[in-house]
Amino acid sequence: MDALPSVNLGRLANRYAYLRELPAGEAFQRAFLRYLKANRESLLDITVAVVSTQISLGDGPEDVDPLLLRAIHDTNPSLTQAHLFSLDSDALQGAVNTAKGKYFEYLVAEKLNQGLQVGPLLLQEGQTAVLAESMTQPGWDLRIVDEDGAVVEYLQLKATDSVAYVRAALERYPDIQG
């Protein structure tokens, strides 16, 4: 068994202890807890943004996130932007609700490609998050590719609070990370 990870973790823990004047284990544990909090918050921020997304009557294209407009167009291709903003309140929110899953995908890909962490995901140098070209792509929504375009990983994205929905996706596509 290779002892390298333990040596590296020991060095990292000692570095935190040196910088913080705390015992090595406590300093490292605090850093790890900050990582876990950031991990949860980054994904929660995106989910809350998507779930709470609304367009109000009187809003125009300049008042709406361009990624949301793109998601609405992609999920309702026959709905022109001019017609979207002339819909009544219920129909307008219906178009937004239909687009929320796609909007979530766009936000996750954008954040990852900006070098930000989303949940446990953080792209390595040279990697890019690429969404599936088809909205009906079976099994995965996003792939991570390296600088040569080779696929590093496939991901299934779900913007839901339904455990059953996520479980069904994991059972159907066990080789794809959820």
Instruction: State the residue range of the domain holding 26.
Output: 1-44
| Assigned domain for 35 exists | yes
- Whole-number pLDDT of residue 122: 86
Q: Does some domain include residue 84?
A: no
Lowest mean pLDDT among 49-63, 85-99, 143-157: 49-63
Distance in angstroms (rounded) separating the CA atoms of residues 157 and 142 = 7
Is 151 domain-assigned? no
- Mean pLDDT along residues 20-46: 65
Average pLDDT, the chain: 79
Q: Is 163 among the domain residues?
A: no
Q: Is residue 34 part of a domain?
A: yes
- In the chain, the number of structural domains is 1
- pLDDT for position 110: 94
Is residue 73 domain-resident? no
User: What pLDDT score does 138 carry?
Assistant: 85
Distance (Å, rounded) from C-alpha 41 to C-alpha 122?
14
Provide the pLDDT for residue 108: 92
- Give a yes or no: residue 98 inside a domain: no
> Is 102 domain-assigned?
no
Q: Which of 112, 102, 119 is nearest to 38 (CA)?
A: 119
pTM: 0.69
